[in-house]
Structure 1
Amino acid sequence: MTVSSSSSAHHPVVPIPAVLKFGAGVTIVQAVVAFVIGVLFILEDFRTMGEEDSLLSDTGATDWVGTGTAIFIFIVFGAALAGAVSMLRGHTWGRGPIVLLQILLLFVAFYMFSGGQPAAGAAVALSALLILVGVLHPKTNEWYSSVYGG
Structure 2
Amino acid sequence: MRLTSTAPRTVLGAGALIGLQALVALGFTVFLVFQAFGGDTSFNTGTVLGEAAYFAVLTAGVAACSAGLLLGKTWSRSPSIVLQVLLAGAAWYALGPSGRPDIGIPVGLGCLVTLVLLFHPATTAWAEGLGDE
The alignment's TM-score, normalised by the length of structure 1, stands at: 0.75
**Contact map agreement 1:20 1:140 (CA 8 A) in 2:** yes
Q: Take 2:37 and 2:107, find their aligned partners in 1: how far apart are those partners? A: 27
Residue 75 of structure 1: aligned partner: 57
Q: Take 1:136 and 1:78, find their aligned partners in 2: how far apart are those partners? A: 23
Aligned AA (1:75): V
Q: CA RMSD in A?
A: 2.1
1:65 offset after TM fit, Å? 2.6
Q: Take 1:65 and 1:101, find their aligned partners in 2: how far apart are those partners? A: 25
Residue among 42, 45, 50 paired with 1:52: 42
1:147 offset after TM fit, Å? 5.8
- Confirm whether residue 139 of structure 1 aligns to residue 122 of structure 2: yes
Residue among 8, 18, 21 paired with 1:27: 18
Structure 1, unmatched stretches of 5+, are 8-13, 54-61
**Contact map agreement 1:112 1:120 (CA 8 A) in 2:** yes
Structure 2, unmatched stretches of 5+, are none
Q: What secondary structure is seen at the aligned counterpart in 1 of 2:85?
A: helix
Aligned AA (2:45): D
CA distance 1:121–1:141, change in 2 (3 Å): same
Residue 58 of structure 1: aligned partner: none
**Contact map agreement 1:76 1:101 (CA 8 A) in 2:** no
1:146 offset after TM fit, Å? 2.4
The alignment's TM-score, normalised by the length of structure 2, stands at: 0.84
Residue 84 of structure 1: aligned partner: 66
Bigger radius of gyration:
1
Residue among 84, 98, 115 paired with 2:80: 98
- The number of residues matched between the two structures is 128
Aligned AA (1:118): P
**Contact map agreement 1:21 1:134 (CA 8 A) in 2:** no
Q: What secondary structure is seen at the aligned counterpart in 2 of 1:48?
A: coil
